[in-house]
Amino acid sequence: MQLHPTSLALGKLGDDAYRFVDWLAAAGQSWWQMLPLGPPDRAGSPYKSRSAFAAWRGLLGNPSAAVSEDEIAELREREAFWIGNWERVAGGRRAVADQVRFAREWSALRAYATSAGVGLIGDVPIYVAPASADHLAWPELFRSGEVAGAPPDAYSDRGQLWGNPLYDWPALQRRGYAWWTERLRRTFALFDVTRIDHFRGFVAYWAVPEGAADARGGRWRRGPGSAVFDAAARSLGSLPVIAEDLGVITEPVTRLRQSLGFPGMVVMQFGFDPDDPHGPHRLENHEQGSVVYTGTHDHDTLRGWWEGLPDPVRAAAAQQISSAGVEEREPWWSLIRLAFSSRARLAMIQAQDVLGLGSEARMNIPGRATGSWRWRMAPGALTDQHARRLRAATEEAGRLGSG
């Protein structure tokens, strides 16, 4: 199940997080997927964090817990690659102490989740934020004159202007891609698996002139391909990665993902277009090695999506639900069960959909500068009844113990 810690009732680690692990285990769920854990930007987005390595102080269940000098020294040694840079930009010793507190709380939560049979899935944004600790500490690794974005498409005739600094891939290559290796090392020290956001950017990325009003004037530039992951694998071994390969995906992107052995993503909300019978998101076209999502943090909830559907798409979805024999009283539960029927190796749902919440519970609306990243569950919202119902659906689909 996908749920960021900020969406727990108290919005942080601590008792809430442990109770959620207990609920997941009772519901027969094997994975807890989160968004990036770094300090978010002013709008609350964890995808434009002040650091690609540091955890956010706001997640701490006990932000005033005592920290010893020995603990600080041990963390400085273990995280020597990045902690000094973070200390300089984030407040000196207190910033380091907060990372000690996070490591303490996180390691206890992860051990508890492991003992309950629940693995943790993280999320790595491909880019860092402008003027972040990473951008300031390693300016030689980034290009100047262009910023990140996405080209115009069916959803936006102006494209998407993200504004993140772009990597100078030749500069990273000359350094053996060490920065990316250390970033993945940090990620796998925290999570069992991670999703890599905007995976297609490793094949080709959209570069927009700095200062442009929108992304229309950008152009494609070639990415590093497998070299980043090959370098990381030499140091770290096997890379348990889910490749976020949504959007307009070309054959070279698919070849790269497959050559690396990374599962890709399919999204149920994209799978009912009557005019796209060969689309990868249609249930019958799912790859066995992929991960199926009912929706992601960038999509509407299942209820909000269903209630806003055009009649032809709703009819196509209803027909597929009926054919699969997974009709429920509520359409969102039918769609959960339909996702569970996929041949994909893992099925990922969102807490909002188990609760049957509408668009008011949506996590993010891409392109909107404010109002996102704020959804939080009501205390006790996920009940024993929800757990029994989800466990029954999981068991009926033969996914108990695997997702």
Give catalytic residues, as residue numbers. Answer: 197, 244, 298
Closest by CA to 202, choosing from 181, 176, 178, 221, is: 221
* Neighbouring residues of 165: CB distance < 8 A, sequence distance ≥ 6: 127, 128, 130, 135, 142, 143, 147, 148
Helix (H) or strand (E) holding 347: strand 346-348
383 neighbors 331 (Cβ within 8 angstroms) = no
Grouping H, G, I as helix, E, B as strand and the rest as coil, residue 161 is strand
How many angstroms separate the CA atoms of 166 and 130, rounded?
10
The C-alpha angle 187, 104, 56, rounded to 5 degrees, equals 55
- Report residue 260 as tokens: 């690396």
- Report residue 220 as tokens: 């494609």
Residue whose pair of structure tokens reads 């798409």 in the numeric block: 313
- Report residue 130 as tokens: 């402008």
How many angstroms separate the CA atoms of 179 and 196, rounded?
15
Paired sense of beta strands 193-196 and 241-243, if any: parallel
Indicate the residue type of 159: G
Find the distance separating the first CA and the last CA of the chain, reported in whole Å. 9
Please give the distance of CA 391 from its chain centroid, rounded to a whole number: 24
Grouping H, G, I as helix, E, B as strand and the rest as coil, residue 142 is strand
How many angstroms separate the CA atoms of 345 and 287, rounded?
8
Grouping H, G, I as helix, E, B as strand and the rest as coil, residue 204 is strand
207 neighbors 218 (Cβ within 8 angstroms) = yes
How many angstroms separate the CA atoms of 159 and 248, rounded?
13
Grouping H, G, I as helix, E, B as strand and the rest as coil, residue 70 is helix
How many angstroms separate the CA atoms of 293 and 2, rounded?
9
